Amino acid sequence: MKKELTPDQQEITEQFQAHIDAEIRGDLDTTLSTMTDDPHLNNIPTLIGGIGKEGVRKFYADLIPFGKFFPPDLVMVPVSQTIDQNQLVDEIIFKFTHTTEVGWMLPNIQPTGKRVEIPLVVIVGFKDGKVTHEHIYWDQASVLVQVGLLDPTGLPVHGSATARKMDEIASRM
């Protein structure tokens, strides 16, 4: 994604990257330091997240230190990004092998060893240079098909084809 960013947009992009980097490193304190005093997180398909500083801390503390947050081979392919002075919207293709429990996407599901590729949208709010909220959306049925927990026969569910289609469209942008 090549584009000219305003200084405010550049700051928001850098702040969110610092937040994501801390999550990936499993650094709970730094992750929380990138957030306001009253943040919230909502992974919409699984209703997993937290409200308020303690709720968000508990969400992260239950997942990050135990390797249940991001699989080791995670790749996030950017598709599009929209930024204004208070919010960032990232559309990405999220790719990983299900070799560890991914507690926010596949809670209580033991690793299947299957590959997952799914379009994902994250909406992140900012206030005074810190994350106020994250709302994360993806097609849970397509994830369940890919890990072998849902038979797509007769259903309008397409598994990894959704990511391939998004990748095809993104290459035209």
Give the pLDDT confidence of 104-142 residue by residue, as tens digits. 999 999 999 999 999 999 999 999 989 999 999 999 999
* Domain of residue 75, residue span: 7-172
Is 106 a member of any domain? yes
Domain count, the chain: 1
Is 1 a member of any domain? no
Is 134 a member of any domain? yes
| Domain CATH code at residue 90 | 3.10.450.50
Per DSSP bridges, beta strands 130-138 and 48-51 are unpaired
Question: In which residue are the tokens 């005074």 written?
Answer: 128
State the Cα–Cα distance between residues 59 and 66, nearest whole angstrom.
12
Q: What is the pTM of this model?
A: 0.88
Report residues of the chain scoring pLDDT below 70. Answer: 1-3, 65-68
The stretches of 67-154 forming alpha helices (DSSP H) are 140-146
In our burial notation (b when 16+ CB lie closer than 10 A, e otherwise), range 62-82 reads bbbeeebbbbeeeebeebebe
What's the pLDDT score for residue 1? 46
Is 67 a member of any domain? yes
What's the pLDDT score for residue 23? 86
Is 88 a member of any domain? yes
Could you tell me which residues come within 8 angstroms of residue 155 by beta carbon, excluding any fewer than 6 positions away?
141
Given CA atoms 20, 24, 25, 31 in this order, what sign does their dihedral have? positive
- Would you give the end-to-end CA distance of the chain in angstroms? 9
State the Cα–Cα distance between residues 145 and 58, nearest whole angstrom.
29
- At 136, is the secondary structure helix, strand, or coil? strand
Is 44 a member of any domain? yes
What's the pLDDT score for residue 5? 79
Question: In which residue are the tokens 């303690």 written?
Answer: 54
